[in-house]
Structure 1
Amino acid sequence: MAELASLQAVIRACLDGVAATQTLSPRQWQVCHHILDCRTAALGGFALSCDQCEAEALCYHACRDRHCPRCQHRASLDWCERQRAALLPVTYHHVVFTLPSTLNGWIEVHPKELYHLLFETVWATLSAFGSDPKRLDGQLGMTAVLHTWGQTLTRHVHLHCLVPGGAVSASGEWHPAKSTYLFPVRALSRHVRGGFVSRLRQAVEAGRLPRLSDSREIERVLNTLMGLEWVVYSKPCLVHTETVVDYLGRYSHRTALSDSRLVSFDGQAVELSYKDYRDGDRRKVMTLSGTELLRRFLLHVLPKGFMRVRHFGFLANRCRARRLPEIRTAIAAPTATVSPAQEGSEELTRTFDGYPCPTCRTGRLRVRAALAPKRRDGG
């Protein structure tokens, strides 16, 4: 009988096979075991009973790991609500910076350092363009979300940036960008390439990338990077900026893979749904072995504690509450208020009164007893 198509089922069936062919980091082992335990007796939970028909059910705790496809849905929705509340009535620009695949080997051994350099370099680039007196002559704002995957789960490191179309000057004036234009992508590409390679070289010389020891190979890679065209994408959000916020929000607290993309799993082979951007965004299905799917998924396990969503400029957490009202005043925009959806979710949390009973459909499932965690089989 075929296994239920889920990442949890793939890990259960294929983790030993992957571990036999490659060395997994402690962090990768931890993520796999979190997903295996998610919503099972291993984490404990509650025994529920209906107050009308006395039907019983079990509700197990979630692992809340940001790599788990079954968790963090509410956190993502709340994040989107907060970002919508901070939107300014200006044209936003969706800008994407992609690292060349030449760096994939270095990312394998030093992911935290290279991801951090990507954030640092992208902000330095956009900030320099924004502060240029010949351009916007002020401070930009930016929200950036790190993605490390492509549709087929191969390593494809890129940074999605949502940038308000304008900058605030030192005197508090708002300098708007052209409605369909922020900065030239070719100039952005050149600047981010030079800045990133320079920072890489400094990191190597400072000993922050100790697993890179072959000086000739390091020099070859750095020279290769300088000879490549770095991909930068920029598009104005003339309408419905909220859709970009929602797109970023889907992966603000989760990563790489959702169970809905797994079409089937027979215990060995997995059918993976993906969008082929080179073929008119057509939806296709590819077949992978379970071990190969899991190997690709583990490429995107982030270092523990790494912040993959960051805010910069006047959107930085330390000054956002102060700067946004000032900017709204400068552009004569109304003050943002908490959305009805957010207020409703907070009210729902305060008045939660059990789950609807799926048996009688009239009663409520209420907690009857707490269930202690049980040791996972084989653990």
Structure 2
Amino acid sequence: MYNPNSINALFTLDKCFHNALKNGHVFRTAELEAVVKVLSCKTHKLGAKAYSCTNPRCSHEKRVCNTCKSKLCTSCGQKATERWIAVINSILPDCKYRHITFTMPKAFWLIFQYNRVLLNHLFSLAANTLIKLAKKRGVTVGIFSALHTYGRQINFNCHIHLSIAEFGLNRQGKLKSFSFKFDLLMSQWRYEVINLLRTHYPVLILPPELEVEGNSPQSWTAFLDRNYNRHWNVNIAKNTTHKTHTAKYLGSYVKKPPIAAARLADYTGGDVTFTYLDHRSKSYKDLTLSQTEMMLRILSHVPEKHFKMIRYFGFLSNRLRGRLLPLIYKQLGQEVVTAKTFGFAAMMKAFLKVDPFKCILCGARMVFTGFIAGLKVGQLVSAIENITLQRPI
């Protein structure tokens, strides 16, 4: 039994990733880059920053290796989450927000996994269910949404988490409360997703599990009609009392790995056991997968390069934010808040009570003296077999 202290062990232990490559598994470029980055995090491979002591009688020097900023990295994910929460809190008006989760039938999950370009459409399809309704009432609402691609068993389960402010701006620039009916959202979301899959049928890459359903336009239409007539869950939660709660809720999904290392109970005989909360029984259960299956599940949630996991609409969109948010702040009696982001030194002082820029020999200040270049991502990917053979730290 091996109890790892990071997700890195999934790729390196028992040559798991190396063997998958040798056995012919084809990884996406984004997956390859994510793996080499997280395995190279805080090592010389990514380069470093050099610091020297300001005391002329002290010769102390130190190197601080660069971090990877990978979606798979627990450490980098935590820092990215804290920074995103700070930034979004500086943008959002402080009011109540309604959180909505837009899901789809299980039969569609693999379609979106094989056709990741379609994931771009889900944000606007979900947001438009509310924007169209608000437009009829002459109101501009504020929405931000996040894509969530994994379920509690780390399987591919794509759905949209969306938060909408309790009010909008009418044509006169005045605040107006905004409400909506649950059934209207569900029917509109269901229609939009079905229409998306219907219109893109000629160019879809279909998984083997849907070979029969995708055999002809007629069988594809019948498959979509069957799922259209099913119940689609659009979960509308209670209003959050303030923006910070909403930001923390969404931030926990989009910047961190799909599973915390603490949930990986053990590695035994090539299998990985982890705990998850069963939403039906409301109790925690254990699930055991092969190490390869667990690794592939986690990698399936790595987004494509430059893919935006969070999108903004209405008065929160980049196009309207600068003009409309000042009007909202003024009517709410609030002031624009400057985002307080924390750097490396501030985090070290806050969490470890250590000043990284204090010389450990003489107590003088350490100052930046230059960069030490690391390898480029392409070079790391070309050496991925050697990198994944390194021992887990």
With the length of structure 2 as denominator, give the TM-score of the two structures.
0.79
**Are the counterparts in 1 of residues 240 and 246 from structure 2 also a CA contact under 8 Å?**
no
Q: Measure the CA separation in 1 of the matches of 2:269 and 2:360.
A: 32
Report the secondary structure of 2:318's partner residue. coil
Q: Is the 8 A contact 1:147 1:160 kept in 2?
A: yes
TM-fit CA distance, 1:369: 8.2
Separation in structure 1 between the aligned mates of residue 319 and residue 238 of structure 2, nearest angstrom: 27
8 Å contact kept, 2:72–2:256:
yes
Distance 1:260 1:58, change over 3 A: farther
Q: For residues 120-156 of structure 1, give each alpha carbon's deviation from its aligned partner in whole angstroms, at most 9, with x where no partner exists.
A: 21122111222333xxx41211000100001220111
- Aligned residue among 216, 230, 242 for 1:228: 230
Give 1:213 shift: 6.6
Q: 1:7 to 1:227 in 2, by over 3 A?
A: same
Aligned to 2:209: none
Question: Counterpart of 1:287?
Answer: 288
Q: How does 1:86-101 map to 2 (within 5 A)?
A: 86-101=91-106
Tell me: CA distance 1:356–1:285, structure 2 relative to 1, closer, same or farther (3 Å): farther
Question: Equivalent residues in 2 for 1:97-136 (5 A)?
Answer: 97-113=102-118, 115-133=119-137
Residue 259 of structure 1 deviates from its aligned partner by 2.8
- Kept after mapping to 2: 8 A contact 1:69/1:257: no
Structure 2: state its 5+ residue gaps: 207-213, 388-393
- The alpha-carbon distance between structure 1 residues 57 and 169, as it changes in their structure 2 partners (threshold 3 A), is same
**Is the counterpart of residue 24 in structure 1 residue 27 in structure 2?**
yes
Go from structure 1 to structure 2 and tell me whether the alpha carbon gap of 1:26 and 1:85 turns closer, same or farther (over 3 Å shift): closer
> Following the alignment from structure 2 to structure 1, what is the Cα–Cα distance between the partners of residues 2 and 217?
50
SS of the residue 2:293 aligns to: helix
CA distance in 2 between counterparts of 1:111 and 1:225 reads: 20
Counterpart position of 2:7? 7
**How many aligned positions are there?**
364
CA RMSD of aligned residues (A): 3.6
> Is this contact kept in 2: 1:166–1:175, CA < 8 A?
yes
- SS for the counterpart of 1:83 is helix
- In the alignment, which residue of structure 2 is the partner of 1:70? 75
Q: Gaps spanning 5+ residues in structure 1: where? A: none
Q: Which residue among 40, 64, 79 is the counterpart of 2:84? A: 79
Say if 1:32 and 1:218 are closer, same or farther in 2 by CA, change over 3 A.
farther
Task: Give the match for residue 391 of structure 2.
Answer: none
Q: Any idea what the Cα deviations from partners look like across 1:260-280, whole Å, max 9, x if unmatched?
A: 333444683333233333333
Question: Could you tell me which residue of structure 2 aligns to residue 305 of structure 1?
Answer: 306
- Report SS of the residue matched to 2:200: helix
AA aligned opposite 1:126: L
Distance 2:367 2:43 in 1: 19
Alpha-carbon offset, residue 320 of structure 1: 0.8
* Residues 150, 357 of structure 1: alpha-carbon distance in 2 compared, 3 angstrom cutoff: farther
Determine the structure 2 residue equivalent to 1:275.
Answer: 277
Contact kept? 2:148, 2:254, Cα under 8 Å: no
After superposition, the Cα gap between the structure-2 partners of 1:71 and 1:18, relative to the gap in structure 1 and judged at 3 Å, is same
Residues 271 and 290 in structure 2, CA contact (< 8 A), matched pair in contact too? yes
Partner of 2:326: 325
Percentage identity across paired residues of the two chains: 23
Where in structure 2 are the equivalents of 1:161-180 lying within 5 Å?
161-177=162-178
CA contact (8 A) 1:50 1:56 kept: yes
For residues 91 and 165 of structure 1, what CA distance do their matches in structure 2 show? 6
Q: Counterpart of 1:378 in structure 2: which amino acid?
A: N
